[in-house]
Amino acid sequence: MSRPVTIVGNWKMNLNRELIQEFFFFLEEAKFTTNVVAGFAPQAIHIPLVMQHAKKFGFIVGSQDCSSEISGAYTGELSTEALKDMGVDFSLVGHSERRTYHKETNELLNKKVNHVLNQNLKCIYCIGETLEEREAEKTFEVLKAQVHDGLKGIEIKDPSQLIIAYEPVWAIGTGKTATSDQAEEAHQFIRRQLTEIYGEESAQKIVILYGGSVKPNNIKELLSKENVDGALVGGASLKADSFKELCE
Ligand code: PGA
């Protein structure tokens, strides 16, 4: 089963207008083209700017989070309706920084995943265990709950709209990458859970990204694994030369 190789840069709370312009200027000068599905999740306020540039390269652009409500009196929130209306392609949901700093639970994230998919946007649903959970040999238990509770009751019409990002929390921003075998073991497990929910045919079509200190020097090894379909990249996606190398 061939799934499209997908590389998404999660820019978190970084970059400004000038740096974003320089980023795309570099890619233009380098006559960058790519065979992979590539994209960015910038800060929400930068989405329109990134979209202007992204079109030239065919990049997909998305948000780093969205509201668990549809619309209404929720000051400071970002609705999936507005994202759709602005022409955004996807939203991340459940990044570990949201789970940790904003106490987002699988139950809350279930509502977000549902709203994103209902708008026909791609949903990149992030899951992963902490170091403590790994050391207590709870990795698979945690992943199982994140998959089953986060996707509870959610039907998928088009399996390519749902993307799972496996990001072991201990590997995010730490320089410690999971070995390709550890990543493959987790991805296989996740695909088995998806098979239980959606059946073999659909589960085989769902892209599963690895995230956590992915760099140009380790991406090839990670992507050599059968169930690792791409990467969600933080730090190494902030510089255009390194992003270009990742896609190449
Ligand atoms: P990192 O971040 O590549 O800097 O480890 C990945 C992520 O948080 O998505």
Give the global pTM. 0.98
Residues 192, 31: Cα–Cα separation, whole Å: 40
Query: One digit per residue, pLDDT tens: the chain, 248 residues?
Result: 689 999 999 999 999 999 999 999 999 999 999 999 999 999 999 999 999 999 899 999 999 999 999 999 999 999 999 999 999 999 999 999 999 999 999 999 999 999 999 999 999 999 999 999 999 999 999 999 999 999 999 999 999 999 999 999 999 999 888 999 999 999 999 999 999 999 999 999 999 999 999 999 999 999 999 999 999 999 999 999 999 999 99
Enumerate residues lining ligand 1, CB below 6 A: 10, 167, 172-173, 211-214, 232-236
Of the residues 97, 104, 133, 167, only one is catalytic, namely 167
Residue 128 burial (10 A CB sphere; 0-12, 13-18, 19+): buried
Q: In testing the pocket of ligand 1, which one of 172, 208, 215 has its CB within 8 Å of the most ligand atoms?
A: 172
Ligand 1 atom 3 nearest Cα: 234
Picking from 108, 111, 120, 102, the residue whose alpha carbon sits closest to that of residue 70 is 111
- Residue 239 CA to residue 50 CA, distance in Å, equals 14
Catalytic residue among 95, 104, 115, 133: 95
Q: Note the pLDDT tens digit of each residue in 133-190.
A: 999 999 999 999 999 999 999 999 999 999 999 999 999 999 888 999 999 999 999 9
